[in-house]
Structure 1
């Protein structure tokens, strides 16, 4: 068994090197200078190093730099096109995992912040925080296929008060063309970008935030079928009239519920009861005929009887099992969030400005996608006869930190240099804060 794991480790190291080289070659043309290309490579690798915390200081120290200034300049003012990198990366990553029945999953995640000075940071609701708190919220896109899944795009959400505050926009260098947009509008822009890039996917999935009629109409205009969660009071039209989702679920005969497996966990298979109700479409795009098939799918918990509702549309006939598969694929984005945050520092960047946030999040997404695609390439190894479950992304990274990734610099001279640098910087910052407090106190008196 140990020999099998050793062989798999060799394969993982080889595939990671190939995947890392491929994505760096794909985006190389977006960096006009050699030093920025090298920094992109170094920073992507450093995101995956074994560090307690990831920010410009810790990454620079791990890479052997004398200070964080090169990375800070790379993120905030470096002359490279992060939008072009985003597009090339998204097309490349989706191509690696390509499948005609793939699902594009939209969801937002929040990152807690200590200061309202960070771009987009405000007191707002975040499921990650479990309520309202000071955080940044960003809408993300995951490409999910039978081969694997990875985050490939994102947009930062600016609350209305934030987007309309000219002083804060100026301080955080928000581009003039960026204005307030709802999460659904950000999702529509991301979907349009994916279609423009030629990303192969049939389905679009999301939670209740993304079940609006406008976004559903946009999805159909772009040629996506969808399976989107809706609220219990969502109204749908049937041949018998207009009814809420709750009322329609109550009319489903007992024999029409189907128990289906919706996933597998450590404690065994997960089963729910499902029902399929045909409804009329209410989101036909202008100039399109009202073809296709619209459904309301109801999920019922086996024990609590709690109901969840999903509005679906397919251009071709589709079974309940197919729709359940798409609905359950939506949870892949939660796995992507967990991996990108815990393994690639998605939520750890201590950046305040627009460019810095865009670039930090992009490098993190690239690092996480390299891991995901490496795992997808190595999942063909047969472990059925070895009593081994397939290696998780975390397991792969543990191997890569020994076999393929450069080790963080840890020699004594370097550690002492950084200790002195941090203490000097913190001393100067404390002095500046005291001077500012004295000035403000004198002005008030």
Structure 2
């Protein structure tokens, strides 16, 4: 009886999830239609998104075109590089779609959940030196110094509901913009100006405000907490923030006194009474417990929130601001500080499920358009998962003591973004015409033979140049 019940619930969740995901896909595509100059381009963008949610092991121009049923990659390459459509307007529509869908899911569940703008950057390794923004730099995705590009993202986070990427700006090194030859080769817009990552975060927040999005807090790591310009922008807009800062960040605990964060903790957070163990929020393995300390400053609206790991004792510092007229509580700041991690999960979903880091385009516009279409695919699955969260969550209550016996039926976790993607991929699987696979096999072999011939000729020419 237990097996039949579990299987029936799983089957019902699969049917409901696939149906809602398809409806959300249609809804978002309709919203994106005015962003495209031609209906054919819009339709191909829909096919591109279908390929992104598919089970393709790699999502590049060739595999996406083959999945779309095209005879060659030309249409896919044209969609990213030369077709007429407004990727900025499309990103705005995706942002509003994601925010509306997550807000609707939150209202159905409970009131009082925080809305967070989580800012962070992610990278993609690239070969060569002709991709827009490529530079030898530290790549977090590789964990080392590598050749790659970096993009700053904003994630719209609804506490205890869901989250999705809602904005992106690629970081372009200053030397690329100052070199007219490189700018031309990389397809950089003529009016593009150099912006630091903190300034790109300002642009993302400004875009979100222009679209009517409202956040309880803006959160980010040390790259953004250390940007004075970003903090001033947020304060000028009456935006509360909880930003990670370095241990060397300077504070003014009392008028006329300046201390680094590390010095402030050493002098002002002495003794056990200054610290209390509080949860940073529930994770997949349970509550995330840390020791917390709260240090005031000369400004009544600015505070330092210190987090200390219970095992290692390693501290982390969050500089916090809450505008005048809004309730300032330690609990609210702790909740906000614990909600920066969803942007990391969005990067994981974007890369593992939708090919965010598999784009082989090199031009600035093409890279951005790939990111926009990945954001659209992720938003569809994230909104669907959020709206089905309560309907598909049948987990047994968590244990309350270490010796508690396991439940007879552990239940089912709610449908996740990866599971929604799989359901949508199955629902959208196209029927290819006869001979489609064989044609693509021949196309790839012919194209690779042609490329190999030209590579050989290039090597011969290089060899002749060396001899001469």
The TM tier, using the shorter chain, reads over 0.9
Q: 2:305 aligns with which of 297, 301, 314?
A: 297
Partner of 1:326: 336
SS at match of 1:329: coil
SS at match of 1:431: helix
Matched, 1:131 2:144: yes
Alpha-carbon distance between aligned partners in 1 of 2:29 and 2:423, rounded to the nearest angstrom: 21
- The answer as to whether partners of 2:302 and 2:319 remain within 8 angstroms in 1 is yes
Q: 1:213 aligns with which of 228, 237, 241?
A: 228
- The answer as to whether partners of 1:341 and 1:347 remain within 8 angstroms in 2 is yes
Partner of 1:286: none
Q: 1:417 aligns with which of 432, 436, 439?
A: 439
- Residues 36-435 of structure 1 correspond to what in structure 2 (within 5 A)? 36-98=41-103, 101-146=114-159, 147-211=161-225, 212-239=227-254, 241-250=257-266, 251-253=268-270, 254-281=272-299, 293-315=301-323, 316-381=326-391, 382-384=393-395, 387-402=411-426, 404-407=427-430, 409=432, 413-435=435-457
Partner of 1:284: none
For structure 2, the 5+ residue unaligned runs are: 1-5, 107-112, 397-408
- With structure 2 as the length reference, what TM-score do the two structures score? 0.89
Residues 259-311 of structure 1 show CA distances to partners (whole Å, capped at 9, x for unaligned) of 01223445443210001111134xxxxxxxxxx62110000111211100000
Deviating 4+ runs (over 6 angstroms): none
- Compute the displacement of 1:108 (Å): 0.4
Alpha-carbon distance between aligned partners in 2 of 1:301 and 1:184, rounded to the nearest angstrom: 27
SS at match of 1:311: strand
Residues 298-344 of structure 1 show CA distances to partners (whole Å, capped at 9, x for unaligned) of 00111211100000001223221111111110000000000011111
Residues 40-69 of structure 1 show CA distances to partners (whole Å, capped at 9, x for unaligned) of 111111100001100110011112111100
- The answer as to whether partners of 2:94 and 2:375 remain within 8 angstroms in 1 is no
SS at match of 1:135: strand
- The answer as to whether partners of 1:63 and 1:408 remain within 8 angstroms in 2 is no
- The answer as to whether partners of 2:219 and 2:337 remain within 8 angstroms in 1 is yes
- Compute the displacement of 1:407 (Å): 4.4
Alpha-carbon distance between aligned partners in 1 of 2:182 and 2:231, rounded to the nearest angstrom: 33
Partner of 2:402: none
SS at match of 2:390: coil
SS at match of 1:421: helix
SS at match of 1:238: coil
Alpha-carbon distance between aligned partners in 2 of 1:111 and 1:70, rounded to the nearest angstrom: 24
For structure 1, the 5+ residue unaligned runs are: 282-291
Alpha-carbon distance between aligned partners in 1 of 2:55 and 2:294, rounded to the nearest angstrom: 47
SS at match of 1:176: coil
SS at match of 1:91: helix
Alpha-carbon distance between aligned partners in 1 of 2:72 and 2:343, rounded to the nearest angstrom: 35
SS at match of 2:252: strand
Partner of 2:36: 31
- The answer as to whether partners of 2:71 and 2:440 remain within 8 angstroms in 1 is yes
Moved more, 80-89 or 228-237: 80-89
SS at match of 2:9: helix
SS at match of 1:192: helix
Alpha-carbon distance between aligned partners in 1 of 2:380 and 2:431, rounded to the nearest angstrom: 19
Alpha-carbon distance between aligned partners in 1 of 2:286 and 2:340, rounded to the nearest angstrom: 20
- With structure 1 as the length reference, what TM-score do the two structures score? 0.93
Alpha-carbon distance between aligned partners in 2 of 1:131 and 1:371, rounded to the nearest angstrom: 31
- Compute the displacement of 1:10 (Å): 1.4
Q: Output the aligned Cα RMSD.
A: 1.7
